[in-house]
Amino acid sequence: MVAHNPLFAGQWTIKKFKATVINDIWPEVTFFTLVATMVCLVSEMTDHELVIPNQLLTVLGTVLGLVISFRTSSAYDKYQEGRRMWTNITTASRNLAQMFWIHVPFEREDKGDQKKITALEAVIEKKTMVNLVQAFSAAVKHYLRGEPGVYYQDLYPLDDDLHDPKPGNVRAAATDDEHARVPLIAPEQTLVGRGESDESWFQSLSGNRPKPRFDPEKVLPTVNSHRPLEPARNPPESTVYDYLPIFRLFRWLYRLILRRAKPASEIKREKEKRRKKLNVESNVPLEICLALSSYSAFLLRSNLLQSALATGVTNNIMIFQDTLSNLDRIRNTPLPFAYQAHLRMSLWIYLFFLPFQIWTNFKYYTIPGTAFVSFLLLGFLEIGQEIENPFNYDLNDLDLDGFCLSIQRELQQITAHTSPDPHSYIFTGWNQPFAPADRRTAEQLLATEGEYVRPGSRDEPGMSSIRRALVRSWRDIDHMTRHQ
């Protein structure tokens, strides 16, 4: 099967172009190409040849290639490990939802800590906990993207009971003092009008409105929040600096001049204002794990869950916490700055002196040769930096929104399971347990008088004939499923 080639799949857009590293490295490639052009023109049109010995060219190129390869490989290892961690979250979410939905009984009695409730109350209780399991993946997604709090359209409707400061709520304080609660997000940080926007800066100037997109948050519960909810996706808006990064230098110079022009008192007031905005933010995924652990302890204390299943629930909650710690480690452990700076400066020096070393043999081909080598080496170096943190909104990052939606669909499928009596689908006219050796249905087999006998055989009735039928099925399947 031919692998899917994302380069030629779909329509080329500015967003896909931004996912490449071309818009990040073209200023550097252009600079080194101009250096090569200068070397060619001076050496060809004047009496001076800008040439240096090329004995170190091969050695230095090999060393830099190996170091850049290590840089890219270490970044890709983080990318792959992040994907494995999200697989763990998906698996643990399925396991917890199945245990809560299937193994926690619907019928309750007044005995000990257990209280008698109706079947509807039991369904509401279990569905709420499954929603909380679903909320964990959404909370981890926002946590990894540096988006604090719970006030998001895909998170707050699932765990609003844990965080809505209303009377009697587990997170509400005994007093009305706002500072008595653990804040989940600062009021100043709420981005009411930001919305989901991936359009570029020149698309906004053209006046073309983006096409309407699907809104998976419509299927979530409708709740009233005392604070405006942010969209599930808050990607940074594209600016001219994303496509012309050389302008970032002018922006830095402008801010530097503006900062020096401000009086010291105004700068001090701005620092104090930013300091006041800082709130103690709670770890939302950890809070959800605590709520799940409390529910598990309640089930075990009320004898609603057997010890073995309670161990399974605890282990999966521990997987949640362990995965969260590993994801946080991946996000907050970049390659040391000294390594990155030294590698980039070494590469710049190598590319700067490259045309001086190859002019004698390549002549005017030095210009495209230098451009190609610069594009190749700088591209791989930039790719390593691009995928080092795979949890943001770029096309090169992991599809965290897709992972969360996949978990949501699977958990809804689990809660749609009615847990029927196995006899209702085993002994029916649709089940052929002994196929292909015996094509009779379970209903026909039970209607047969006497003990079982395989059709068209002289086997001894009973278990001996059943075993021969199973062996015959195995042989037929083994023969028919192999390529001749």
Helix 307-331 to helix 55-98 angle (10° resolution) is 150
* 248: confidence class by pLDDT, cuts 50, 70, 90: low
CB atoms within 10 A of CB 383: 20
413 exposure class (CB count in 10 Å sphere: 0-12, 13-18, 19+)? exposed
**pLDDT > 90? residue 211:** no
pLDDT in tens, 266-321: 556 665 655 544 454 678 999 999 999 999 999 988 888 888 899 999 999 999 99
* 117: confidence class by pLDDT, cuts 50, 70, 90: confident
Q: Rounded to an integer, what distance in angstroms lies between the CA atom of residue 385 and that of residue 374?
A: 16
Helix 22-45 to helix 366-386 angle (10° resolution) is 160
What is the model's pLDDT at position 11? Answer: 65
Q: Rounded to an integer, what distance in angstroms lies between the CA atom of residue 411 and that of residue 128?
A: 12
CB 355 within 8 A of CB 43: no
Mean pLDDT of the 52-60 span: 78
Distance of CA 3 to the CA centre of its chain: 22
Q: Rounded to an integer, what distance in angstroms lies between the CA atom of residue 348 and that of residue 329?
A: 31
What is the model's pLDDT at position 62? Answer: 84
* 394: confidence class by pLDDT, cuts 50, 70, 90: confident
**Higher-confidence position of 312 and 49:** 312
**pLDDT > 80? residue 144:** yes
* DSSP letters for 251-292: HHHHHHHHHHHS-HHHHHHHHHHHHHH------HHHHHHHHH
* 484: confidence class by pLDDT, cuts 50, 70, 90: low
CB 326 within 8 A of CB 85: yes
Q: Rounded to an integer, what distance in angstroms lies between the CA atom of residue 202 and that of residue 167?
A: 49
* 377: confidence class by pLDDT, cuts 50, 70, 90: very high
Phi then psi for residue 285, to 5 deg, are -60, -35
Q: Rounded to an integer, what distance in angstroms lies between the CA atom of residue 144 and that of residue 332?
A: 10
